[in-house]
Amino acid sequence: MAEHNTLGEKGEELACSYLKEKKYRILARKWRYKHKEIDIIAFYEGIIIFVEVKTRSSDYWGNPEEFVNRRKQKFLIEAAEKYIIEKDFDMEARFDIISVIIGEDETHVEHIEEAFYP
């Protein structure tokens, strides 16, 4: 597995642990619809939450969340719509980003609620 994939896996594990600590219920991980993937689907206080996790080893090139561009958002929205239809959910939904920096000396996790809107 490539180094960036290993880093991404670690970031997703940290994001899941973070959400569980905050009492979110994890419904799915790496949920796929065609070539689109949602990293984490969670439930919290009556809201279904679609989470994109971005992990980097530093913020040298920018904060991880800055790499969730409009194209990526569109993919996530399309996949989320399919998930909601497939599961027959009728509830509020939102899109969050969890930004993870795994540095040599420390790890930083930031949860950005309502990071973007459909």
Residue 41's pLDDT is 98
Mean pLDDT, 10 residues at a time, over the chain (118 residues)? 75 97 98 94 98 92 90 96 95 97 93 96
Interacting residues of 41 by C-beta distance below 8 A, sequence separation 6+ = 26, 27, 28, 29, 31, 48, 49, 50, 51, 83
Q: What is the CATH number of domain 3-116?
A: 3.40.1350.10
* Domain residue ranges of the chain, discontinuous segments joined by +: 3-116
Residue 104's pLDDT is 87
